[in-house]
Amino acid sequence: MSDTPERAAAPSINPVLRTVLLWTGIAAVALIILSCGIGFLVAGADGLWSGLAGVGLAVIFLALTPMSVLIANRWYGREMFATVFFGIVMGGWLFKLVIFIVAIVILREQSWVVPGVIFLSLVAGIVVSLVIDAVAFNKLRVPHVSDVVLPTRNPEEDVDS
């Protein structure tokens, strides 16, 4: 019999991250409709595509962080968890950086891009995502030490023979 009980299958933060992804998806649909509609009214078809590109970039970049944490948490409880966790999260961050630079370089050469619409769509996506994160983590009901595993018996009670 072991001194410690079995570890949990996953960290208790996973449901919160899944909720954040769900809310981000719902907000993305609303932002796409709003951004494309306003972009179309302001600049026609080019504004529509610019709004779609701005919201798309914001949603992709902001959803990659909770997704990378959820993927990394699959190694929870294993020997190399910390190394794998930070490798995946930092790899995701570097991936976002490279994709952002490539997207900016490609988009700035396009004739259909309306800079004001794409910028405001990107900012709106970021603000909405930050609000979602703040609300989700503010309503978080996980104790500070939720994933700590305590021994099931007192080792001082053992009698040395």
pLDDT tens digit at each of 161 positions of the chain? 455 455 556 787 888 889 889 999 999 999 999 999 999 999 999 999 999 999 999 998 888 989 999 999 998 888 888 999 999 999 999 999 999 899 989 998 899 999 999 999 999 998 998 898 888 888 777 666 666 677 788 877 776 65
Determine contact, residues 133/20, Cβ cutoff 8 Å: yes
Amino acid at the residue 91: G
pTM: 0.75
Determine contact, residues 121/31, Cβ cutoff 8 Å: yes
CA distance 65 to 88: 10
Query: Among candidates 106, 92, 115, which has minimal Cα distance to 43?
Result: 115
Question: Could you tell me the sign of the dihedral formed by the alpha carbons of 36, 39, 44, 46, in that order?
Answer: negative
